[in-house]
Amino acid sequence: MDISSLNREELTMLGAGACTMLTLHFSSQLASQHLYYWKNPKQQSAIMIIILMAPIYAVYSFVGVLDLKSSKPFLVLLDLIKECYEALVVVKFLALLYSYVNMDVSKDIVPDEIKGREIRLGFPMTIWQVSICSYCKTDNCSWENTKTSTPF
């Protein structure tokens, strides 16, 4: 196959397909390594959900590049899945950050290491001197509910 004889559309399809295949390969390789070295299920399950976001975006982008006449309903379905999965990934990422600092997401438990210590925050965060973790948790949950209900 001579690449110089391909037109712009065929080159775009070839590049998009190659990038999608690379994304699927590397994501499956990373996911299989996490499954093989499964030592911390709470954190690694959140990491697995975050890892699987890349193949979903890659397939969605590749179907968008295909631009088939019959792909419109399939693209709408993939967009719905992508939006809902994105909300799940954001929630899992926040839960992963909480688990890294030994905080429980369901309760307002502050780790012993930071109890009584002054937390110095940058400018935008100094406006809200109330519990910033509970604010992030509440804001994230409301964003997740809005994000998942909007595509419908």
pTM, full prediction: 0.68
Angle between helices 71-100 and 41-51 (to 10 degrees): 150
Range of the domain at 58: 3-149
Q: How many domains does the chain have?
A: 1
Q: Select from 57, 58, 63, 19 the least CA-distant residue to 11.
A: 19
- Helix (H, G, I), strand (E, B), or coil: what is residue 20? helix
Q: For residue 122, give Cα distances in angstroms to 93, 129, 138, 139, 140.
A: 22, 11, 20, 19, 20
Instruction: Output the pLDDT for position 7.
Output: 86
> Could you report the per-residue pLDDT of 4-55, keeping only the tens digit for each?
788 888 888 889 999 999 999 999 999 999 999 999 888 899 999 999 999 9
Cα separation, 80 vs 84, in Å, equals 6
Residue 118: what are its φ and ψ, rounded to 5°?
A: -80, 130
